[in-house]
Amino acid sequence: MPDSDKELESALSELSEIDTNECITCTKRSLCTRCKRPINVCWCSHLPVDKIKTSTTVLILQHPNEEKRNVRTAPMLESALENCHIIRGRHFSRHPLLRDTFSNPERSYVLYPASDAIDVEDLVAVGRDYSLIVIDGTWNQAKSLYFGNKELHSLKKVKINPTHPSYYVIRTQPHNECLSTVESVALALSKMERWPELNSLLVKPLVAMCAFQIEHGAEKHDSKEEQIISGTFKKKIPRKIENRIRQCKDFKHLLG
């Protein structure tokens, strides 16, 4: 019998001796029970010691697909704020928290950057119990949730005006003014509560998470807009960004 046949027969013999009732296990990474992240990239130590109480209640409407992402920022808000709730789904009219919110449109706002949105800085919100609804997902997911829930249309829209690019540097943003969910809420709340330091308190876990990810091999991402300006963007320029560039005379040459 050739040597190769003998080796095959020996291997098959060894396989036949394996106990089929024996449990074969693999070692899994230990996860933090709070943020559900691996221990070595856990961001919980960067949360406030005690949950922060605000007069504004934050209701995050999370698209189901967003929950599947490994690096999400909405849980940071839920862990840091006493009055913050994440509601997952596509339709929200029957949720008890939202029914109360929809029935009080004079005290409820939705963070949505439409042309008729009010600048959050212009709200006289100090000392009042407002509700701020925030949509968590990609821009297309956010639009589908907004237009798929007509109850949101009865609420006044508010917008923020970022003064710096997103700290969420491990994810590519469409343009320089796009922020992650935790950054958007942090900025909005700091204005509504008239508490400037609240912004930096709430984004600390995000900054830490991105630093951990980069240490473990993740790449830092510029926004698509920044890539276009620097000449490193390789795909067709999205129409929305193209329109923004056309409005800026200093960068019109980038369009050819």
Any idea where the domains of the chain sit in the sequence?
Answer: 39-215, 224-255
Q: Kindly state the average pLDDT of the residues 180-200.
A: 96
pLDDT of residue 244 exceeding 60: yes
Angle between helices 197-215 and 181-192 (to 10 degrees): 170
Alpha-carbon distance 229 to 249, whole Å?
Answer: 13
Taking domain 39-215, whether its CATH number is 3.90.320 is answered by no
Given a contact cutoff of 8 angstroms between Cβ atoms, the answer to whether 102 and 161 are in contact is no
pLDDT digits (tens, 9 = 90+) for 127-165: 578 999 999 999 899 999 999 999 999 999 999 999 988
Q: Residue 101 burial by CB count (10 A; 0-12/13-18/19+): exposed, middle or buried?
A: buried
Task: Write out pLDDT tens, residues 69-125.
Answer: 778 899 999 999 999 999 999 999 999 999 989 999 989 999 999 999 999 988 865
Whole-Å CA distances, 75 to 44, 59, 68, 205: 11, 12, 13, 10
CB count within 10 Å of CB 126 equals: 11
Tokens for 221, please give them: 């991402």
Amino acid identity of residue 110, one-letter, is V
E strands in the chain:
57-62, 84-88, 108-111, 118-119, 131-136, 156-159
Average of per-residue pLDDT across 197-225: 91
User: Of 102-111, 166-175, 214-223, 236-245, which range is least confident?
Assistant: 236-245
- Using alpha carbons, list the distances in angstroms from residue 254 to 129, 233, 238, 244: 47, 11, 13, 12
Under 8 Å between Cβ of 133 and 186: no
Give the range among 10-14, 24-28, 240-244 with minimum mean pLDDT.
24-28
